[in-house]
Structure 1
Amino acid sequence: MKIFGQLGALQAHVGEALGVGEWMTVDQPRIDQFAHATHDRQWIHVDPARAADGPFGATVAHGFLTLSLLPALCATAFHVEGSRMGVNYGLDRVRFPAPVPVGSRIRAACRLLEYTPLEQGAQLTIEATVEREGSEKPVCVAQMVSRRYY
């Protein structure tokens, strides 16, 4: 994990990698909890028996589940000391190029695309590329826009 001593230190790293996070396992209970919370109970996500005969041979995580894990995945990639609060401001480009079969391990590589100073903080645009262990294609690529305050 890369550690930055202060928020302003990020400005010098626009266009650079901020770090690669730790692996996280996407298991069936996590998929089921997400399905329950979002009311998206499509069989490809929650019915292992039926999904075994489906296109991926097993259940797969919702794309939006992968997207919702970005803050946790990026939190293990880099840390900014002295930042008292972060706010999700939005997303720009989001794609799900490959599925996340149940039991997969995923992690995020984070790259700083933009740094815009704000009063008491900065707006950051971070490209997060989520990879699945053993897969050549990423499972999610998203540009996250957040505001951090000191």
Structure 2
Amino acid sequence: MSHVFSSARALLAAEGLDLGHTEWLTISQQRIDLFAEATGDHQWIHVDPVRAANGPFGACVAHGYLTQSLANLFMPQLMTLENMAMGVNYGSDRVRFPAPVRVDSRVRGSGLIIRAEALGDTVQVVVRITVEVEGQARPGCVIDTISRYTFHPLCK
């Protein structure tokens, strides 16, 4: 369930809010292969199932940056912004890959609003996205995303 924010005031008041979880997503070999094509990263631990079966993870694993990029998929599932004039990804602070994400694993995102601050007419929000891996104690990725949102003038 997505949390809805309709104004800068509402978003600023959400600091510390647990955004919950997304639905589960299966990380298929096709998704990994498409990411390899898009980025040019064809390392065997990602794209060679036969060799990877005998490698350190026992199967192909998703690229760390593929796992990180899921934050962009999960964010709108966790929070919806209405009455927004513009929103941009500003960057990220901390990114970690505590555990590999093996092919055919199921992952989901959880979110926590770490910080929300006004920067003039814009609200800068730091959301910690944790990419949980079903059946694993450690997540595949933890990233503090930074976004900037500007709401329409009547929605401040």
Question: In structure 2, how many angstroms separate the alpha carbons of the residues matched to 1:108 and 1:90?
Answer: 18
Partner of 2:71: 70
The answer to whether the 8 A contact 2:12-2:123 is kept is no
Counterpart secondary structure, 2:115: strand
Q: Aligned residues, how many? A: 150
**What is the alpha-carbon root mean square deviation over aligned residues?**
1.4
Question: In structure 1, how many angstroms separate the alpha carbons of the residues matched to 2:85 and 2:97?
Answer: 31
Deviates more, 1:14-23 or 1:37-46: 14-23
Question: In structure 2, how many angstroms separate the alpha carbons of the residues matched to 1:13 and 1:71?
Answer: 20
Question: In structure 1, how many angstroms separate the alpha carbons of the residues matched to 2:69 and 2:104?
Answer: 17
* Structure ID, larger Rg: 2
Letter of the 2:33 counterpart: D
What are the ranges of 5 or more consecutive residues in structure 1 without an aligned counterpart? none
Partner of 1:51: 52
**Alpha-carbon deviations, 1:57-100, whole Å to 9, x = none?**
11000000011111111211221222243211111010000000
Question: In structure 1, how many angstroms separate the alpha carbons of the residues matched to 2:86 and 2:22?
Answer: 20
TM norm structure 1: 0.93
The answer to whether the 8 A contact 1:21-1:75 is kept is no
TM norm structure 2: 0.89
**Alpha-carbon deviations, 1:89-148, whole Å to 9, x = none?**
111010000000011111111111111213443111111111011111111111101111
Letter of the 1:32 counterpart: D
Partner of 1:131: 132
**Alpha-carbon deviations, 1:36-75, whole Å to 9, x = none?**
1111100000000110111111100000001111111121
Question: In structure 1, how many angstroms separate the alpha carbons of the residues matched to 2:58 and 2:44?
Answer: 12
